[in-house]
Structure 1
Amino acid sequence: MIPRPSAGVLRDAAFVAAALLDVWVHVEPDEPKRLALALFAASALVLRRRLPMLTFVLTLPAVVFSDAIFACLAALYTLATFTRRRTLLAACGMAYTLSDMTDWTPGPSLNLWSPSGLITLGYTAATAAAPIFLGQLVQARRDLSLRLTEISQARDHERRLSAQAVLAEERAKLAREMHDVVSHQVSLIAVQAGALQVGAQDTEVKRAAATIRRMSVQTLDELRHMVNVLRDSHGRPTELTPQPSLTDLRRLIDSSGIDAELKAELPDGLPPTLQRAVYRTVQEALTNVRKHAPGATATVRLTYEGNAVHLKVSNTAPTRPALPLPGAEYGLVALRQRAALLGGTVSTGPTPDGGYELRLVLPVKKAP
């Protein structure tokens, strides 16, 4: 495919073509010296954007020795669009005016102080001023556009800073609430569970109290780490906690307080994000079993089929009524969102024996 020429190249070609047309109209073929100077001036316009001052100097002789003036006016316009030196532009305009009024052809000379001479001087000076003013207008328009772009970028940056400030304030407020309320209550749970573990006589009660205390202490550590992360809103990114993997599933199931069985047949080297998704799904499923199906047993089955990990967490029917606990079903919503980000799906539903089942399917992307 042939690349299309840029807008600058097309404008240069248009200027050169207009200059050649000016030469064809104002210079006779039987005047080889003037024709050569005029053609040289027209061809010099290809340098106008890279070397505007040199281009003006190269086109000036054509004005002195011929009537082909377009190339010099185009060079003067280009110089005015790039330079900010008003004195230089005034000098170039004067040089064009004097060159255009210089007559090297034999014949009567022009009296500058006569009415016709003054009219010619004014007309020539206006002709030189027109491309200068037009070039300065283009330069001002370009500067204004750049300034508007800078203002827009500054406003966007200010909005981002304001949003970050609001976010930092919200994070600090959330950190205070977690520290003052949630951490305090979890600490009380850990203390009460420890007292129950020491004072209880029944073995099952001691085991349950020990589990509550251990999980409360772990939750408290995670809460404290999360509070530190929330407070460090302007620092470098920090992991909330050491992220779990599939090797932590056994400990999760053993500490869940549920009679659960783990059946896993998975290959090694699964992506860490996928392992975390599986772990969090099992964690949420066991939490729901503990809340909504007291006394039920659970089965956690992990298999690898068709380049995908299949997780099924099922539980039997509860053996006693569930306690009324607060819940907003955000856990399942978060699991579905996490699975969707990894290209997977989550489905839930009751089983024929009165239990419940959660299924997760996550595709495994092979390394290229």
Structure 2
Amino acid sequence: MKRSRLAADAGTVALAAVEIPAVWSLIGPVELVLYIVTALLLVVWRYWPVPVLLLTLPAAMTGLLLAPMIAMCHVAFGVRRRAVIGACAGLLFAVALVPWRPMQTEVWSYEDGLRAVISSALLALGPTAVGALARTRRELAGRLDELMHSRERERKLLARSAVTEERARLAREMHDVVAHNISLIAVQAGALRSTAHTDASRETASTIGELSRRTLHELRAMVSVLRSGEDPGRAGAHEGTVEMAVDGPGLAELPALLRVSGDHVRYEAAVPARRWPKRVEQAAYRIVQEAVTNALKHATGACVTVALRERAGSEALLVEVRNGPGSAAGTGAAAYGEESRPLPSSGFGLIGLRERAEALGGWLEARPTADGGFSVRAALPAPTGGTPPVGGV
């Protein structure tokens, strides 16, 4: 910006100096020095446009009018009060008439006087019109820029309103459909536990009930987040279920999750006793949850190992879930009986896990193992300084 202003000022002085060669043979040393000083005064027109014009008027009396015309253009461009602009234009018009005054030996005709008035008027009104046009163009550009910003704000408000409506719709669907069915599962599990005749049946019913209640609690917490319209990453300031949805579940809830998943799930935790960022803990929990669920669905009876450790030399949590091949009895829900149907799968589970890891600046890879099993590995950066990246909820 500063360089462009200096270049513009230098161009203004150079433009005013163009008149000097044209009148070189008609002016003396005094007029030459006066005009050079007048041209140099144009550098400070941004700060004092009216005083600069007044200081250029002596040069206009000698017939050197280019610098005063440029100063008048700057007055029309930089001054907002029309009365001041009109007074300056009238003063320049009067001064521009001075070189046209008749000598004592000359006889002025009507045509000479009319030509002097018209020429002086053009010399005063021309720069005024150019400066006013430039000022109007600048103001119009500012109005258009303001209008574009206003339209952009309106577009964002409309988009935010659409997102709010969609969140409310999702909250209604989750509450009316999913929460209702999970509540029925919890009630049926309680009834089954009361009427079961064997310890194994009662333990299974108790596990189903605990999973249903936990899922219902998290679901209702997420419905509260959707209803509140808050970003889940910033909703921790709220109390109750919304805070639970943001702060948990984390690493502290992993043992309970794996305990109800079955005896063939082994947990190996080799992480230091430190407080990891909430988003890192939540991402680790969801990765383990999804990977163990996939192992139970697609490799029934296989041994599942969950390992957590800190990556050496960097602040990152490494999560690994691996399982061997499924039992010969079958895989998925079909292994539990002939009438069982395969569990539904959206196909977006691993995609969502990879998005969680990448949102934290980490990575996730999922691939088959050499023994016919499957492995899910992820690295979740957790810098000690600053706020962890937001995303992936």
Give the TM-score normalised by structure 2. Answer: 0.83
1:263-282 to structure 2, matched below 5 A, reads: 263-269=268-274, 271-272=276-277, 273-282=279-288
Task: For residue 346 of structure 1, give the secondary structure of its aligned residue in structure 2.
Answer: strand
**Gaps (5+ residues) in structure 2?**
237-244, 334-341, 386-393
Matches of 1:40 and 1:188, distance apart in 2: 94
Match among 210, 232, 241 for residue 246 of structure 2: 241
1:277 to partner: Cα distance: 2.9
Matches of 1:144 and 1:62, distance apart in 2: 35
Matches of 2:108 and 2:145, distance apart in 1: 49
Q: 1:112 to 1:212 in 2, by over 3 A?
A: farther
Give the conservation status (yes or no) of the 8 Å contact 1:62–1:69.
yes
Match among 20, 23, 26 for residue 23 of structure 2: 26
Q: 1:59 to 1:37 in 2, by over 3 A?
A: same
**Gaps (5+ residues) in structure 1?**
none
Matches of 2:24 and 2:101, distance apart in 1: 13
Give the conservation status (yes or no) of the 8 Å contact 2:295–2:302.
yes
1:190 to partner: Cα distance: 0.8
Question: Which amino acid letter does the alignment assign opposite residue 144 of structure 1?
Answer: L
1:220 to partner: Cα distance: 1.1
1:350 to partner: Cα distance: 5.0
Hey, what does 2:388 align to over in structure 1? none
Hey, what does 1:68 align to over in structure 2? 64
Hey, what does 1:47 align to over in structure 2? 44
Q: 1:344 to 1:38 in 2, by over 3 A?
A: same
Indicate whether 1:58 and 2:55 are aligned: yes
1:255 to partner: Cα distance: 2.5
Cα-Cα RMSD: 2.9
1:88-99 to structure 2, matched below 5 A, reads: 88-99=84-95
1:10 to partner: Cα distance: 1.1
Indicate whether 1:314 and 2:311 are aligned: no
Question: Which amino acid letter does the alignment assign opposite residue 180 of structure 2?
Answer: H
Q: 1:269 to 1:108 in 2, by over 3 A?
A: farther
Task: For residue 340 of structure 1, give the secondary structure of its aligned residue in structure 2.
Answer: helix
Task: For residue 266 of structure 2, give the secondary structure of its aligned residue in structure 1.
Answer: strand
Question: Which amino acid letter does the alignment assign opposite residue 45 of structure 1?
Answer: L
Match among 271, 295, 301 for residue 295 of structure 1: 301
Matches of 1:297 and 1:97, distance apart in 2: 99
1:105 to partner: Cα distance: 8.8
Give the conservation status (yes or no) of the 8 Å contact 1:299–1:315.
no
Task: For residue 358 of structure 1, give the secondary structure of its aligned residue in structure 2.
Answer: strand
Give the TM-score normalised by structure 1. Answer: 0.88
Question: Which amino acid letter does the alignment assign opposite residue 222 of structure 1?
Answer: E
Hey, what does 2:374 align to over in structure 1? 357
Question: Which amino acid letter does the alignment assign opposite residue 360 of structure 1?
Answer: R
Hey, what does 1:333 align to over in structure 2? 351
Question: Which amino acid letter does the alignment assign opposite residue 334 of structure 1?
Answer: G
Per-residue deviation, residues 157-201 of structure 1 (Å, max 9, x unmatched): 111111111111111111111111111111111111111111112
Task: For residue 6 of structure 1, give the secondary structure of its aligned residue in structure 2.
Answer: helix
Matches of 2:69 and 2:94, distance apart in 1: 14
Hey, what does 2:221 align to over in structure 1? 225
**What percentage of residue pairs aligned between the two structures are identical?**
34
Matches of 2:258 and 2:230, distance apart in 1: 37
Per-residue deviation, residues 198-223 of structure 1 (Å, max 9, x unmatched): 11121111111111111111111111
